[in-house]
């Protein structure tokens, strides 16, 4: 039990970097646009290129992890990530930053893959759901703490400091992995291209797998889209500072954290499947209210933030439970399965992030309508893919 708790603590510590990498520099978005003399859309695309790199990294790292274990790909990926993070601070143009963010995402994909795969190697059933709730907590809290840190770094040092911070955090993870993280995967699986393609195809034929991953992706996109649009709306339209934005994001993080804690409590009384159902319906209801608030108060900080806080809280009931239901039904090839889950999640999140970068952020209404559309898509994935797939497996 003590070893299991230590393993979860390491996973939580490593997972934070996934959220930090996306959002620690978002308070610097206006400064970056001014620095490189480009529009806000170009700066926002640095998140999309990072996510694209993450997906590409997952495609290759999943099968490699199943063939060679979790530690070696993780060590190499983190080392590469540290270098790319430092080089980001030296970027002389927006094009260079876009390219480096792509490479940074490819490197950190090793962390995202290892965290899910290791938990799937070690835990099963309800214990897996509980362990994944800690992973989800760390993944969700990272993007919230990050703007708070980044706001101070921007105010007192400049945009480069955020990438120094990421490089340093990566170095600490590198040391932790080398010194304390055990290998958890010993059953080597072929990485022959044909075998890998067949494995991916078999997983993509499972409606519960695809639908569940799409549900997770739409939920993850909520905070990322907020951090893409939020800095310009809160700082430029409403006149708050980067530090103020960081504090606001931190408060939202508290709600995300409370949602995950609530999930830990209700898991002792209800099944993951039932919790997911309640969460999905609640999310759709909250986004309807969000549109109503935006129509009544189009330029108001609280009408902008209160629904987001409710969404983050509610999504804490969904992500880890869906992940546990998916991984719990796949006994072999955990690395490849975890990689494909991440590919679907990040691809859907990336597409939604790119589309959201074109939203005009002078009022809260476009933001609210986008969230409603996203949650309706989440409901469709849940109802017509995830539920049907689970029901078919149970039959």
Residue spans per domain, the chain: 2-394
List the structure tokens of 217: 């992706």
Is a pLDDT exceeding 80 seen at residue 224? Answer: no
Mean pLDDT over 210-226 rounds to: 86
What pLDDT sits at residue 390? 79
36 and 237 Cβ atoms separated by less than 8 Å: no
Residue that is written with structure tokens 């094009």 in the block: 95
List the structure tokens of 41: 């859309």
Alpha-helical runs (H) found in 231-333? 242-266, 272-296, 301-315, 319-327
Is a pLDDT exceeding 70 seen at residue 151? Answer: yes
What pLDDT sits at residue 190? 64
360 and 366 Cβ atoms separated by less than 8 Å: yes
- pLDDT band at residue 178, thresholds of 50, 70 and 90? very high
Is a pLDDT exceeding 90 seen at residue 261? Answer: no
Sign of CA dihedral 262, 265, 271, 274: negative
Q: Whole-prediction pTM value?
A: 0.76
What mean pLDDT is reported for the chain? 87
Domain 2-394: CATH superfamily is MFS general substrate transporter like domains (1.20.1250.20)
Task: Quote the CA–CA distance of 66 and 70 in Å, as a whole number.
Answer: 8
What pLDDT sits at residue 348? 87
pLDDT in tens, 81-105: 999 999 999 999 999 999 999 999 9
Q: Give pairs for 387-391: CB < 8 Å, separation 24+.
A: 387/211, 388/207, 388/208, 388/211, 389/206, 389/207, 389/208, 389/209, 389/210, 389/211, 389/212, 390/208, 390/273, 390/325
Element (H, E) at 38: none
22 and 350 Cβ atoms separated by less than 8 Å: no
Is a pLDDT exceeding 90 seen at residue 245? Answer: no
pLDDT in tens, 309-352: 999 899 888 888 898 888 766 756 667 787 888 888 888 887 88
* One-character DSSP codes across 65-128: HHHH-SHHHHHHHHHHHHHHHHHHTT--SHHHHHHHHHHHHHHHHHHHHHHHHHHHHH--HHHH
Q: How far is CA 268 from the centre of its chain?
A: 26
The radius of gyration of the chain's CA atoms, rounded to the nearest angstrom, is 20
pLDDT in tens, 74-85: 999 999 999 999
Estimate the share of the chain in helix, then strand, then coil, as percent rounded to the nearest 5.
85, 0, 15
Task: Quote the CA–CA distance of 121 and 109 in Å, as a whole number.
Answer: 18
Element (H, E) at 40: helix 40-68
What pLDDT sits at residue 76? 96
Mean pLDDT over 362-389 rounds to: 90
Residue that is written with structure tokens 């149970």 in the block: 394
List the structure tokens of 155: 């105010």
Q: How far is CA 287 from the centre of its chain?
A: 20
pLDDT in tens, 39-74: 888 998 998 899 899 989 998 888 888 888 899 999
Task: Quote the CA–CA distance of 34 and 169 in Å, as a whole number.
Answer: 27
What pLDDT sits at residue 71? 92
Is a pLDDT exceeding 60 seen at residue 395? Answer: no
Q: How far is CA 6 from the centre of its chain?
A: 23
pLDDT in tens, 10-41: 999 999 999 899 889 988 988 999 999 998 88
- pLDDT band at residue 136, thresholds of 50, 70 and 90? confident
């Amino acid at each position: 039990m003590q070893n299991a708790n230590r393993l979860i603590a390491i996973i939580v510590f490593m997972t934070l970097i996934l959220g930090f990498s996306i959002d620690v520099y978002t308070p610097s978005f206006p400064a970056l646009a001014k620095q490189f003399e480009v529009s806000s859309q170009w700066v926002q695309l640095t998140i999309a290129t990072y996510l694209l790199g993450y997906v590409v990294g997952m495609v290759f790292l999943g099968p490699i992890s199943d063939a060679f274990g979790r530690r070696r790909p993780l060590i190499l990926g983190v080392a590469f990530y540290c270098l790319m993070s430092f080089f980001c601070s030296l970027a002389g143009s927006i094009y260079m930053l876009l390219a480096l963010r792509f490479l940074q995402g490819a490197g950190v994909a090793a962390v995202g893959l290892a965290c899910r795969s290791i938990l799937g190697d070690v835990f099963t059933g309800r214990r897996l759901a509980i362990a994944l709730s800690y992973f989800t907590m760390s993944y969700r809290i990272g993007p919230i703490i990050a703007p708070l840190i980044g706001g101070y770094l921007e105010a007192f040092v400049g945009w480069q400091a955020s990438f120094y911070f990421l490089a340093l955090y990566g170095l600490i993870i590198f040391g932790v992995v080398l010194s304390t993280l055990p290998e958890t995967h010993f059953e080597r699986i072929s990485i022959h291209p044909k075998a890998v393609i067949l494995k991916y195809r078999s997983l993509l034929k499972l409606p519960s797998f695809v639908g569940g991953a799409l549900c997770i992706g739409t939920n993850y996109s909520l905070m990322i889209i907020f951090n893409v649009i939020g800095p310009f709306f809160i700082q430029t339209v409403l006149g708050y500072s980067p530090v103020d934005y960081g504090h606001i994001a931190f408060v939202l993080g508290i709600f995300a954290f409370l949602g995950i804690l609530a999930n830990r409590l209700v898991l002792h009384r209800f099944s993951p499947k039932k919790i997911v159902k309640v969460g999905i319906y609640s999310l759709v209801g909250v986004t309807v209210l969000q549109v109503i608030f935006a129509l009544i108060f189009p330029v108001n900080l609280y009408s902008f933030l209160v629904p987001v806080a409710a969404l983050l809280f509610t999504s804490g009931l969904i992500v880890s439970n869906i992940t546990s239901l998916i991984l719990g039904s796949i006994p072999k090839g955990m690395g490849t399965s975890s990689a494909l889950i991440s590919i679907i999640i990040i691809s859907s999140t990336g597409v939604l992030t790119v589309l959201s970068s074109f939203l005009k952020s002078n009022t809260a209404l476009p933001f609210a309508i986008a969230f409603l559309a996203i949650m309706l898509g989440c409901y469709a994935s849940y109802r017509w893919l995830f539920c049907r797939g689970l029901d078919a497996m149970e039959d």
